[in-house]
């Protein structure tokens, strides 16, 4: 078992914490864990706990615990496909399109899944902000299109704030997404499976700040989480249904966390993001939702590895040449 973590993204530190939780929860009677740390500069540092006598340990399956760019976006998944190594989590396509918030929204809309209205900026320095504010109204949320953990995200309530938010987001990505601000509540729903995915009991996130940003997620330790989410049975079932539909819309396998907004004025659910390598830190909700649903962390890891091996076995029967 090769656990790959760290990486070049702005979520490097979060990845380290997630990987520690995954490794600590692994059943050492089942798995011999090989550590592969990727530095912020992109260098790989193999750190096997028990090296093979010949110095070349065998890898049966890889568990990429890499968040954000160069890890959750299909790049590492492509490398593992080339190496013909089974790996935990979504494949190249689902990883790539889920990472790109615009493409994810397009696929959800095509499947009839509601997402917040948005505008894409590809030349933020020269864009006219007037039409954007007119179309979406304030407040609006400005995000790098390809980043996670709320890195580079800002809330804008005026033209000046919008310009500043766009400038900050442009430091992280060439493509910027500006979304209509939805006044309401925030939820998360864990999904797992290959051909027959299922959703866990969802949770509600109650931020300690204006919205659930990076500091609120990982630094302040003040946000509240409620499992089960205080919803009616019908609302819970509807969120789980939409979560599975979104999962299928991006052709996901393995696992994902689908984030939701529930608009107060309309009572309507909107899919906010799909995270194909959700956090596994001590405060991360993906493992907590599954634990509440009856699958504690060691069993969750077992199941994810089983799904990885099943997908690899199914692909071995395919032909790639005439």
Active site residue 216: no
Give the pLDDT confidence score for residue 104 in this predicted structure. Answer: 97
CA-based end-to-end distance of the chain: 33
Say whether pLDDT at 132 is over 90: no
Sketch the domain layout of the chain as residue ranges. Answer: 2-89, 96-114+183-312, 118-180
Residue of 18, 273, 284, 311 marked active site: 273
For 44, other C-beta atoms within 10 Å of its C-beta total 10
Least confident of 153-162, 206-215, 258-267: 206-215
Q: Are 138 and 156 in contact (CB under 8 A)?
A: yes
Between residues 280 and 217, which one has the greater pLDDT?
A: 280
Say whether pLDDT at 188 is over 70: yes
Which top CATH class is 118-180? alpha beta
The residues that bridge with 187 in the sheet, in sequence order, are 204, 260
SS3 content of the chain, % helix, strand, coil (to 5): 35, 25, 45
Residue of 6, 11, 98, 150 marked active site: 11
Its sign, for the CA torsion 33, 24, 11, 192, is positive
As a residue count, the chain comes to: 322
Say whether pLDDT at 170 is over 70: yes
Residue of 216, 279, 284, 311 marked active site: 279
For the domain spanning 2-89, the CATH number is 3.40.50.20
Least confident of 182-196, 205-219, 243-257: 205-219
Active site residue 273: yes
Residue of 9, 15, 275, 284 marked active site: 275
- Category of 101 on φ-ψ map: left (φ > 0), alpha (ψ -120 to 50) or beta: alpha
Instruction: Look up tokens 């918030």; give the residue.
Output: 101
CA gap 186, 110 in Å, rounded = 23
Say whether pLDDT at 201 is over 80: yes
Active site residue 11: yes
Active site residue 73: no
Q: Which residues contact 47 (CB under 8 A, 6 or more apart)?
A: 34, 35, 36, 37
Give the pLDDT confidence score for residue 209 in this predicted structure. Answer: 66
Using one digit for the tens of pLDDT, what is the confidence trace for 53-94? 555 578 999 999 999 889 999 999 999 999 999 999 999 999
State the average pLDDT for the chain. 91
Q: Is 48 helix (H, G, I), strand (E, B) or coil?
A: strand
CA gap 242, 189 in Å, rounded = 10
The pair of three-digit structure tokens given for residue 35, joined into one six-digit string: 């550590």
Residue of 179, 259, 270, 311 marked active site: 259
Q: Give the H or E element holding residue 108.
A: helix 101-110
Active site residue 218: yes
Q: Domain 96-114+183-312 adopts which CATH fold? A: D-amino Acid Aminotransferase; Chain A, domain 1 (3.30.470)
Using one digit for the tens of pLDDT, what is the confidence trace for 247-275? 999 999 999 999 999 999 999 999 999 99
Give the pLDDT confidence score for residue 313 in this predicted structure. Answer: 95
Q: Are 37 and 99 in contact (CB under 8 A)?
A: no
Active site residue 275: yes
């Amino acid at each position: 078992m090769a656990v790959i973590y760290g990486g070049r993204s702005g979520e490097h530190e979060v990845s380290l914490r997630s990987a520690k939780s995954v490794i600590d929860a692994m059943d050492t009677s089942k798995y011999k864990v090989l550590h592969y740390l990727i530095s912020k500069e992109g260098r790989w540092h193999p750190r096997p706990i028990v090296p093979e006598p010949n110095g070349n340990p065998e890898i049966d399956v890889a568990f990429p615990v890499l968040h954000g760019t160069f890890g959750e976006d299909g790049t590492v998944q492509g490398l593992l496909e080339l190496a013909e190594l089974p790996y935990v989590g979504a494949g190249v396509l689902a990883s790539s399109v889920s990472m790109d918030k615009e493409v994810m929204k397009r696929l959800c809309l095509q499947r009839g899944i509601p997402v917040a209205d948005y505008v894409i900026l590809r030349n933020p320095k020269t864009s006219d902000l007037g039409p954007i504010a007119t179309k979406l109204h304030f407040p609006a949320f400005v995000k790098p299109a390809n980043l996670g953990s709320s890195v580079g995200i800002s809330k804008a309530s005026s033209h000046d704030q919008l310009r500043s938010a766009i400038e900050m987001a442009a430091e992280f990505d060439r493509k910027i997404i500006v979304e209509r601000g939805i006044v309401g509540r925030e939820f998360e729903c864990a999904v797992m499976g290959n051909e027959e995915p299922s959703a866990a009991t969802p949770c509600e996130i109650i931020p300690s700040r204006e919205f659930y940003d990076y500091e609120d997620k990982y630094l302040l330790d003040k946000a509240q989480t409620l499992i089960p989410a205080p919803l009616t049975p019908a609302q819970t079932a509807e969120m789980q249904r939409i979560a599975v539909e979104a999962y299928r819309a991006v052709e996901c396998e393995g696992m994902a966390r689908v984030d939701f907004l529930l608009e107060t004025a309309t009572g309507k659910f909107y899919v906010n993001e799909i995270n194909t390598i959700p956090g596994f830190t001590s405060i991360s909700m993906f493992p907590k939702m599954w634990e509440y649903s009856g699958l504690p962390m060691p069993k969750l890891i077992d199941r994810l590895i089983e799904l990885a091996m099943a997908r690899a076995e199914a692909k071995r029967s395919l032909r790639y040449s005439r």
